[in-house]
Copies of this chain bind each other. A is one copy, B any other.
Amino acid sequence: MISVILLGAGNVATHLYKAFSNAENVLVKQWYNRSLHNISSYANEVDITNNLNSLKEADIYILAVSDDSIAKLSQNLPFSNRLIAHTSGSVAMHDLDKKNKISVFYPLQTFSKEAEIDIAEVPICIEVYKKENRQILKDLAQAIGSKGHKISTEQRQSIHLAAVFVNNFTNQLYRIGHEICESNNIEFDIMKPLILETAKKIQNMSPYVAQTGPARRNDNKTIKRHLKQIESEEHLTIYKMLTDSIKKTHKYNLPSPKNKKKRNI
């Protein structure tokens, strides 16, 4: 049985709390948050507190708080030589106060309070300062049905960067699709099966192989028509740039700056 104390009450903390509570081999001994308000609804199932001085002993303390609060909170912990982990994709492990045994337990997923997540599907990136602390983090990942991946700081930061591209930026492309639909009286719902299939497709196929569409086919006639059709200056810039990016990936000749005016798109 791994005993855990959770600190924070944001999306990651809430999803981890649910996963830990459902796990057979994990005991959430206490849940801390600066303000009790956000966790008070859990008071009948777990010991909650807003006082760092009343924190109990546990195998691991998970600091699932905002990036900016991690260092400060770790300094304020009134104990030493215990195992603590933050859950951020981008904060360095060494931002944690070294009076305790430091580590990272980073679940690679997009968490919203409203959306249910199957935590077993979430890869957990694990980083430790001292090797001997790795196993308990791996066990904790496994206890919630997930897979723990040994990841270096540099790798974790690259994963976080890649996640911005495939998650935040992708979602912004959905948003642009939404804007285009809206301004043409089309229900955005019609795009949803395509969006889902685009993500499903690369589960078993590389994005390189999965690519289709006018840029992939070097179909400059369609591209030209799209450029005429686009109403927003911002959409136009994004369209051009990502079209060029696809062409570059698939090795179509891009115009040199010199003959840009003659360009057929």
Contact = CB atoms under 8 A, between A and B. Distances in A.
Interface of A: 67-68, 90, 108-112, 114-115, 117, 121-123, 125, 149, 151, 154-155, 157-159, 161-178, 180-181, 183-186, 188, 190-216, 219, 221-222, 225-226, 229-230, 234-235, 237-239, 241-242, 245-246, 248-249
A172 B234 contact: no
B178 A225 contact: no
A22 B171 CA distance: 35
Given A115-B204, A123-B193, 8 more contacts: A157-B225, A159-B186, A161-B180, A162-B191, A163-B213, A170-B198, A174-B202, A238-B242
Given A191-B162, A222-B67, A178 B242 contact: no
- Max chain B Cβ within 10 angstroms of own Cβ: one of A155, A173, A225, A237: A173
A105 to B, nearest CB: 15
A211 B170 contact: no
Contacts of A190: 108, 123, 125, 149, 159
A162 B180 contact: yes
A181 B159 contact: yes
A213 B112 CA distance: 11
Contacts of A115: 197, 200-201, 204-205, 210
Contacts of A172: 207, 211, 242, 245-246, 249
A212 B168 contact: yes
A219 B200 CA distance: 30
B169 A242 contact: yes
Contacts of A242: 168-169, 172, 238
18 contacts: A109-B193, A111-B212, A112-B205, A122-B193, A125-B190, A161-B180, A162-B177, A163-B194, A164-B214, A166-B194, A166-B198, A168-B212, A168-B214, A170-B173, A171-B198, A177-B207, A178-B207, A234-B245
A242 B169 CA distance: 6
A92 to B, nearest CB: 10
A197 B122 CA distance: 10
